[in-house]
Structures are given as structure tokens and as C-alpha cells.
Chain A
């Protein structure tokens, strides 16, 4: 006889012997949690019930139990956490997307929804991740990691620019793994947090606890790994953590804004380990994908905007999905406040603050200065007629950037660089274009340089 059947007999007996109110009050959410060697342990929801059953209904319960199980000697009562055995109360984080609320809303602390054990935000799921040609490799890799933990791509290294969905993909992977197999220990962190915790551990003289903490996970996800560059102690600690996890067949997933080989000040042994698994990139979304993203976002917000406006937003905001959403929010808020949907011209004006930032004025002087800093050469050298290799390459890159980003004419560029012919400028431009195409490493280099220019 199972515990449930036995307790059901007790319940049936009690129901006829005592008043209905008493029965409901004192027997609700009770069950037998253990039945061993003649001792029955009954789980009760609170102390009141425990006292009452122990002192008032002990005889009744004992009699009912003994009629079917005469070997039972005693009954114990414990206040237990779970309410009933059938439905163990699991703390299910709010998986369901919150019902869409009107635009006027009280904002919440998003961070409170983060799962304490995994540090994952349940908001990020694969379902809301839009796949296009720009991110399909990364998406497919993440999906297969969910199915083949630590066996297929380990580590998985995902890189891409700001606001393109790296964090979304990482967190969605973590959430999917957790859903797939809740017993796995998944942990998401950022490299900054990793460093901070390490520093705290060193301060509190408990580095071992820190080591043990990170080495217990089955899946470790680290966002923005590029920030450990230059932090020697963190890299060392991380190296050991990585090795331990990898040796024990645990999955590790990283994200970064650039590929491992382009992360400056990263120790070689870490770099080679990052490259050991699969490296997948997320590039910039194409126009169609941007439009698709806008439509999906709009659908989740349960609002609607005319096609032309969406098309304009998709064409105006090119590089950053986060800004794409921001643009949509601005237009939405405007629509709501004014009660009418703005025209395309009005939208252009509204979005000026976002679009204008992107096309920020870049001066020729700025480009040249950053190129010099980046390649560590003297500005004077760049304009000299020297043909030394270490000068030629930066000079060509500078010319390329002046053409590509500054839209200078070739004669102007030639003039700028010590009165060279415009054909020299054309040659330099074409050479760099070709190199970028042929050599991805060099393409990254130029990309990083560009970021420097636009950051300042």
C-alpha cells in the first residue's frame, strides 16, 4: 500500500468522525512523507496543524492507520516546506511573458526576476530571438549546445558588436539548457562580476571558496569576456577555472565584442583555449531582418504602426538592435501622447537624436590622430615620403578611412598626405578594401580602429 493510499484511508475516517470545518482546517495539505520501520512521518503545512494533530487527533489517526497497517508503532509530525507530494511547490519564475500593459506603466526592477541560482533572466528565450543571415551560425551553434552539452562545441565563443543580441543569445541558451535538464547547474555571469567576486574573495581571505564556487557548475556562461584583458590575476584564476571545467566535461560559453585573437592583452594560453571550440560571430543585421525585428517587437507590444514608418526606422538605424528598439519606443510614445500616428517626416525628426549620433561628424584630423595612436607612430611620419613598411600600412589605412568614412575625394586625400598623386590614394584605398576582404584578421583590426575613432 502506498503512502497516499494509507493517508487517504485516514482522511476518509477523519472526515466522518469530525466536523467538516475542522476536517478542512486541520487536514488540508497534509500527507505521509515517510513510512519506515513502523514510524510514519506526516508532513503538515504549519505549526498549528502539527500541535493540533499531535494533541487532539492522534488517537483517531492512529486507529485509522492501525486498521490497515497494524505494524505502525508511532506517528510523527513535521512542518514541511512542500505543500503536497503530488505538486511539489517549485518556485517557477514568471516564465510567461507579462501581459502587455499600456504605454503608461510603472517600471519594475527587472533584476528582481533574475533567477538566484543561475543568475539568468527568464525574459531571454530563444522564441524571441530573431534569426537572420547575420546571426544564424551563432544561433545554430547555441541550439546545438543545448542538445549536446559539452560534447560538440566546447567552448562556444560568440562575438559581435554592441546591441546585436549576444547577451540575449547567451541567456537564452542558459535558460534552454535549464529547461531541458533542470538538474544541471547553469551559471551566467559577466567577466566584470567574475573579477569583482575574485577581488572580494581575495580581500576576505577565502580564495578557495571562490574556486569551489565556480568549479561546481555544469554550464558556465561568461558575458563580455574581453574585459578580462589586462587583468593578470583574473586571467590566471580564470585559466584554472576553465581548465578544471573543461577537463571535467563541462560546457563553457563566452561572448565578446571581438574575436579572441583581437583581444589585446590576453594571455596566449587563454586565447588558444578560447579558440579551441567553435567561434561564431554575429554581424550586423540586414535591412530585411531589421524590419522583421521591428515587426516582432511591435507585435509583442500589441501596437501597430504604418509600414512606411517601420521601413524608415529599419533603414535609418543600421547597426544596433537596441537602438532599433529605442527608436520604436520613441515613435510609440509619441503616438500615444498625441493620439495620432506621426508622419514619416515627423518620425525623421523624432529619430534625429538616434540617427544623428550614428552619423557623427568625423574629422580628417581625428581619423589621422587615431590611426597614429593605434599603430603607435608619429603623425609626422605619416605625411613623410617614407616607404618603410610600418609607415606604409597605417598610411594606407588612413587613406582608406578618409575615403570610406570621411568621403574625401581622392585628390584631396593625396594632397593631404604630403602632396601625393590621387592615383596613390586610389591604390591605397583599393588595396585595403581587398585586404579586408581577404584577411578577416585585418578586417577586425580596421573595425577596432574604427570603434576607437567613433568612441572619441
Chain B
């Protein structure tokens, strides 16, 4: 194998796939990047047997071939080394990298041992804009469960109809939903799948500098995301996402609208004083048109911050996890609507001018 590539391109490719390598010590081949030069294309592949990522690097192939290179060594080396172009060739099972700045040999492994990336058969496909996909996933992923005990919620639920895509996630304490308009399929068409949380982190990372469309194809137990730059295969989570529509409150006992910046500032101050449980208490008083956020920490002290705004409904005192509120608020902008369903029921948060996203969170019982 022998090819010449622009060093920066090669570096970008390596750094993109490197994250997707496996950390299993039982199968050392998983911690390598497969570098192949075939049919005029240079491809870098990494997999952890849950997801597989292929990135295409522009360059000139002089001789076809493939080799598996330890990912950590390759990525450390390539991000430090200088030079404009880099020439890679295989010599006796090792890879030789030559640039104007020097010459390196890294011990490789046999490419034959590298896992094969599953082919996609019998699939349904649709396209979605890369930045939209990335933003939607990022908006909801913080609400998904980090524990693997219930895999169906350690994932993001994606539901598509011909003109709408819905992304939802919950860890049973809070829930986030993002809706996106677009054209995804024929009229009457609908699809849904559960994408595991690790794949989402991987995918959002890959989409970082992607402004084109992503072609998504859904197969049996797996999904493929493809752009001009990369192809990512991920397994899907089996099981069914909870029927969450019924937990979305529609009527509120108390509600108010306040600018996000004001709220974030208040919460940050209160955040300094949160206790071990990260609990903060909202005291909402319609008579005085006052919102008070209280936090106290047995070791540090306590704090109350106020803001004035019109409040509709009953007086309410309710406690939440500080981080949960912040997670939701981050994805909003402008004026933010807070609706409390009941003293032991969920709080619904949404941007006043944007009905495509909402976030609901359950209170704490103190």
C-alpha cells in the first residue's frame, strides 16, 4: 500500500475515527485504525463492535493495500508532526510515514484481523440536514439515562413521519423532545428507532464540521449515517420507548415567563450554594409577583435570589435538582416559559417563541 495525502486532511480523518476505537483489552485489534487504500480511495476505519466509522481522506493512491495501525500512537504522532504532505506506505507489516519533517515507522497489525463493517441490506432511507440532526440530538441527549439497566431509555428515540421528525429522550426523571420539520418520506410513511447514547456522542462529534445532508438508512437492528466525509454504522436498541405523551402536562397550576439570561444568572448564583443533593427550591408567589430561588448547603451557607415577573396561578414552593434545570435551560433562548403542573408533578420548560422544543422535569421530594 502506498498513498500521498495532505497532512492536515489525514490528521482530521485520524482524529475523527480515533474516538470510535474499542477499549477492550481482550481484542487488541479494536484499538487500531484500519487504513486502506483501494480503488483510488483512502479510507480510515475504526470500530468498537457497537458502532463503526469510516472516514474518507482525499489523497493519491499509488499502490492498493491495507493495514491496521494502533490508534493512540497514530493520533499522537499525526497531531504533533509537521510537514505539508505525508506519504504512507506498508513495509513488512509496518507502516512508514514520510513527510518533509521526518520519517516514522509504526508497527502495524494484520488487516485481515480487523472486524468487517456490516453491510446494510433491506433498508429504508431518508435524508436530514447535518446541522439539524446534530442540534436535535444535542438538545435531547442530556435527558437520556446514563445507566444501561434499561437500554430503551439509555438512548434517544427518533420518530419520523413524512413531514416531521421527533427526537425524544428521558431518564424517567426528566424528558426532552425536539421536533423538526422537513420532508422525510412519502405521505403516510413513518419510522421509529432507538439510537444508543454512545452512538449519539459519536455521531454529534462526527457532525461537528458537517454542513451538508446526512443520508440515513435503517436496516434490521442497525442504522447507517452517511455524508460526503464519513459513514457510520451503529446498532439500534431493541425495545420500545415509553409512551411519553401522557406525561406531558397540558394544564398548569402556576406559570410564569422570564428571560433565559435572568434565570441562568439566578440559578448560577444559587448553584454556588447547592447541597449534596443539588437541590434548589423555587418559591413562586403570584401576589408579590416574585420568584425566589433558594439553595442551602450545610457546609457553605445559603442563598436566596429574587426576580420579579407576573405569575399566573397559585403560590407554589417546589424543589428541583439544580443540574436538571440547567440542562434544560441550556437548550432554550429568549424568554422561557415555566409551567408547574402541581406541587408533586412535573415542570414544563420551553422557549416562549419556539414550540418545537420542550423539557419536562420532575421535582424532588424533600
> Is A111 in contact with B362, judged by CB distance below 8 angstroms?
no
Query: Assuming A47-B118, A51-B119, is B27 touching A106 (CB within 8 A)?
Result: no
A residues within 8 A CB of B27?
21-22, 25
For the complex, is B346 an interface residue (Cβ under 8 Å from A)? yes
A residues within 8 A CB of B118?
46-48, 50-51
Query: Assuming A22-B27, A55-B116, is B173 touching A108 (CB within 8 A)?
Result: yes
Most A CB within 10 A of own CB, among B28, B233, B246, B321:
B246
Query: Considering the chains assembled together, what is the distance between the CA atoms of A81 and B220 in angstroms?
Result: 10
A residues within 8 A CB of B365?
103-105, 107, 333
Closest Cβ of chain A: how far from B360's Cβ, in Å?
8
B residues within 8 A CB of A104?
277, 279, 364-366
Which one of B83-91, B125-133, B158-166, B234-242 is at the interface? Answer: B234-242
Query: Considering the chains assembled together, what is the distance between the CA atoms of A106 and B344 in angstroms?
Result: 11
Closest Cβ of chain B: how far from A130's Cβ, in Å?
23
The proximity string for B residues 170-199 relative to A, scoring 1 for CB distances below 8 Å and 0 otherwise, is: 101101000000000000000000000000
Closest to B48 in A: A48
Closest to B51 in A: A48
Picked from A51, A91, A109, the residue with its CB within 8 Å of the CB of B175 is: A109
Closest to B119 in A: A51
Interface residues of B in 130-149 (CB under 8 A from A): none
> Is A51 in contact with B364, judged by CB distance below 8 angstroms?
no
Picked from A47, A81, A107, the residue with its CB within 8 Å of the CB of B344 is: A107
Interface size class of A (residues with CB under 8 A): 20 to 34
Query: Assuming A106-B362, A107-B363, A116-B243, is B173 touching A51 (CB within 8 A)?
Result: no
A residues within 8 A CB of B272?
none
Interface residues of B in 213-242 (CB under 8 A from A): 220-222, 233, 235, 238-240, 242
For the complex, is B247 an interface residue (Cβ under 8 Å from A)? yes
Closest to A112 in B: B242
A residues within 8 A CB of B344?
107
The proximity string for A residues 239-283 relative to B, scoring 1 for CB distances below 8 Å and 0 otherwise, is: 000000000000000000000000000000000000000000000
A residues within 8 A CB of B321?
106
Query: Assuming A25-B27, A79-B220, is B362 touching A109 (CB within 8 A)?
Result: yes
B residues within 8 A CB of A442?
none
> Is A21 in contact with B247, judged by CB distance below 8 angstroms?
no
Interface residues of B in 242-258 (CB under 8 A from A): 242-244, 246-247
A residues within 8 A CB of B362?
106-109
For the complex, is B111 an interface residue (Cβ under 8 Å from A)? no
Picked from B153, B235, B239, the residue with its CB within 8 Å of the CB of A46 is: B235
Closest Cβ of chain B: how far from A150's Cβ, in Å?
27
Interface residues of A in 1-41 (CB under 8 A from B): 20-22, 24-25
Query: Considering the chains assembled together, what is the distance between the CA atoms of A284 and B26 in angstroms?
Result: 64
Query: Considering the chains assembled together, what is the distance between the CA atoms of A77 and B239 in angstroms?
Result: 22
For the complex, is B47 an interface residue (Cβ under 8 Å from A)? yes
For the complex, is B52 an interface residue (Cβ under 8 Å from A)? yes
Closest Cβ of chain A: how far from B23's Cβ, in Å?
14
For the complex, is A305 an interface residue (Cβ under 8 Å from B)? no
A residues within 8 A CB of B50?
46
Closest Cβ of chain B: how far from A51's Cβ, in Å?
4
Query: Assuming A46-B221, A48-B116, A51-B119, is B173 touching A106 (CB within 8 A)?
Result: yes
A residues within 8 A CB of B246?
111
For the complex, is B117 an interface residue (Cβ under 8 Å from A)? yes
Closest Cβ of chain B: how far from A346's Cβ, in Å?
19
> Is B364 in contact with A112, judged by CB distance below 8 angstroms?
no
A residues within 8 A CB of B93?
none
For the complex, is B305 an interface residue (Cβ under 8 Å from A)? no
Closest Cβ of chain A: how far from B253's Cβ, in Å?
16
Query: Considering the chains assembled together, what is the distance between the CA atoms of A51 and B239 in angstroms?
Result: 24
The proximity string for A residues 93-113 relative to B, scoring 1 for CB distances below 8 Å and 0 otherwise, is: 000000000011111110110
A residues within 8 A CB of B115?
48, 51-52
Query: Considering the chains assembled together, what is the distance between the CA atoms of A107 and B344 in angstroms?
Result: 8
> Is A107 in contact with B173, judged by CB distance below 8 angstroms?
yes
Leading 3 A-B pairs by shortest Cβ distance: A47-B118, A51-B116, A107-B362
What are 9 A-B pairs with beta-carbon distances under 8 A?
Answer: A21-B26, A48-B52, A81-B221, A81-B238, A106-B321, A109-B346, A111-B243, A111-B244, A333-B365
